[in-house]
Amino acid sequence: MSTNRILKTNEWQDLVKYKPWEVAKEISLPLPWFILEMWAAANQHKVLMLFAAAYFFLTCLRVSHNAFHYCLGLSRTATDVVMLLLSVFMMTSMRATQVTHMQHHRHCLEENDVEGYIAKLGFWNMLLQAPLFTLKLHKEALSRSAKKSLKQNFWIKFEIALNVFWMTAVWFWWDIDALKIHTVLMLLSHAISPMFTVWSVHHDCEDNTSDYDSRTLRSRWLSPLAYNMLFHLEHHNYPAIPTCHLPQLAERLDDAGLINYKTVI
Q: Inform me whether the pLDDT recorded for 210 exceeds 60.
A: no
SS3 percent helix, strand, coil of the chain, rounded to 5, is 70, 0, 30
Residue 126 has pLDDT above 60, yes or no: yes
Region 133-153: mean pLDDT is 92
Coil/strand/helix, residue 204: coil
Mean pLDDT of 89-112: 93
Q: What is the pTM of this model?
A: 0.92
Distance (Å, whole) CA 58 – CA 251: 24
The answer to whether the CB of 217 falls within 8 A of the CB of 265 is yes
Task: Report, as an integer, the average pLDDT of 145-156.
Answer: 90
Q: Give buried/exposed letters for 71-82 (b at 16+ CB in 10 A, else e).
A: bbbbeeeebbeb
Average model confidence (pLDDT) for the chain?
Answer: 90
The pLDDT of residue 4 is above 60: no
188 Cβ contact list (under 8 Å, min separation 6): none
The better pLDDT of the pair 205, 236 is held by 236
Q: What is the pLDDT of residue 17?
A: 93
What number is the average pLDDT over the span 114-137?
94
Pick from 56-60, 137-141, 220-224, 226-230: least confident: 220-224
Q: What percent of the chain has pLDDT over 70?
A: 94
* pLDDT bucket at 120, cuts 50 / 70 / 90: very high
Burial state string for 92-125 with b = 16 or more CB within 10 A and e = fewer than 16: bbbbbbbbbbebbeeebbeeebbbbbbbbbeeee
